[in-house]
Every structure is written in C-alpha cells, then in structure tokens.
Amino acid sequence: MKDIDAKVLSSDMLAEGLIRIILYAPDIAAQAKPGQFIHMLVPDNAHVLRRPISLMAMDAHAGTLTLAIQPKGRGTQILCAMKPGDSVKCLGPLGTGFDGGDAKTIYFVGGGVGVAPICGAMDAFATETSCAFFGFRTRNHVYGMTQAPCRVVAVSDDGSIGEKALVTKPLLEEIEKKRPDLIMACGPTPMLAAVQKIAVERDIPCQLSLEERMGCGIGACLGCNVKITCPDGSWCYKRVCKDGPVFDAKEVAFGG
C-alpha cells in the first residue's frame, strides 16, 4: 500500500455519466490486483474524506491505472474535472481482489459502474470458455465491450442494446448450457443479491464485489461494515474496505 501523488495522463468520456481517467502511478500499479481499489483525495481544500474508486485496468509495465468515475457528488465531480498533467493524492492498492484460482470457466457479471472492476477481472482471468454478462440503462451507457477477452452478452433497461431484461436472464440461460467453475460479479445490490441466489442454489462458487460508503479506506473507522453469515449460522460484521470489497457469495447477508 502506497500513498502517492499520481499524475493524470488522460481524461475522457467513457459512456454517458461516466468518465475514464488514466493515472500514472507505478508504485500502485506494480502491486494492484483485479477487484482492488484506490482512495483518492479530492484536490481542493473542502473535502477531507477520500473517495474509493475501483480499478478498471492496471498495467504494471506502463505504470498506469485506469478508472471509471461517475461524477455524482461534488467530490467526484472535481475528480472528473481533472486535466492531463494534474496530480492527485492516491492511497492504494486497497482491499481484497478477485481470485480466479484454478477455475477454467468463469462467468463475469457486471451492472452499471460495476462493469469497471469486472473488466479488470476479465483481463486477468477470462478463458476461451468464459462469458461476461453486462447490464446497462441504455445504449448510451455501454462501455467495456470492445476488445473484451471473452464473449460478452449485454442487456439494457430499455432494450436499446441487447434484450430488454435483467442481466440474470442471459446468465441463467448460459448456466443451463454450461455450468461455470466460478462467477464473479459487481454492480447494484439487487443485482448482486440475485446473482448470489442463483449461485448458492446451484452450489456454484461465486465472488461478489460490494460497494459501501467509506471513511478511512484501511479498516480503522469501521464505517463500511457489512453483515456476514458465519459458517456456524451466526453472523458478524466485516469491513468492505479491508476484508472486501470482494467476498464469497455465501458470506454476504443482504438485507441484514
């Protein structure tokens, strides 16, 4: 984990409501794994808390990190307004990432901004028999499909790309044809809960990347606790920033 001044190499629109920023951060890129994140300090004097941003891609050779940032609040709006040549304080890499293990066929599931970390996982773990399932609001929100390392099936809320359906529909259809060794997913909580149900009912190993508001990003403030089911049936709390953001699907107690 390093706290460095990263240099902005480029900033452009990735999709509607989503900005792609490429940082030169060799110390972090050399250590980063798919599913991890960085904690970015907003470059002004008003925001004390950093913003957790997932890694869409990392290139240890080039020393770069690729981010997909949604400019929702004032802090992320300032980050998205950064220009090439600007510097930004970044702490990372943080959290636990995805682990492909010895899985030969992995199905990847991403929804909205959650497609970004799934792209990093695909780059690292996709095989010829893998498949990705992406859900978007509209065609204008699509990203991450060009030069994908495996087949991608996209659906949308309005049917402007692919089928008008939830992303779990094509996932289930593909599972009926071929059972995967592992599922990796990131996206809105309802989507993750649905993927969890599919995986647990079929006893398919599954890893879920969760999102939560974070304060410190290193597990000290306990502000990002999530309810976790223990092996004996009891429950406890774990920290998304330190123990996650990637968890075994059988652990996560959604709605708890």
pLDDT of 40: 97
Domain ranges of the chain: 2-94, 98-208, 210-256
- Following CA atoms 93, 99, 105, 109 in sequence, which dihedral angle do they give, to the nearest 10 degrees? -50
pLDDT tens by residue, 63-79: 999 999 999 999 999 99
Q: Do domains 2-94 and 210-256 have the same CATH topology?
A: no
pLDDT of 134: 98
What is the pTM (predicted TM-score) of this model? 0.95
pLDDT of 147: 87
Assigned CATH for 2-94: 2.40.30.10
pLDDT of 9: 98
pLDDT of 232: 83
Which CATH fold topology does 210-256 show?
Dihydroorotate dehydrogenase B (pyrk subunit); domain 3 (2.10.240)
Assigned CATH for 98-208: 3.40.50.80
SS (H, E, C) the chain: CEEEEEEEEEEEEEECCEEEEEEECHHHHCCCCCCCEEEECCCCCCCCCCEEEEEEEEECCCCEEEEEECCCCHHHHHHHCCCCCCEEEEEEEECECCCCCCCCCEEEEEEHHHHHHHHHHHHHHCCCCCEEEEEECCHHHCCCCCCCCCEEEEEECCCCCCEECCCHHHHHHHHHHCCCCEEEEECCHHHHHHHHHHHHHCCCCEEEECCCCCCCCCCCCCCCEEEEECCCCCEEEEECCCCCEEEECCCECCCC
pLDDT of 8: 98
Q: Point out the residues of the chain with pLDDT beneath 70.
A: 256
pLDDT of 256: 54
pLDDT of 233: 81
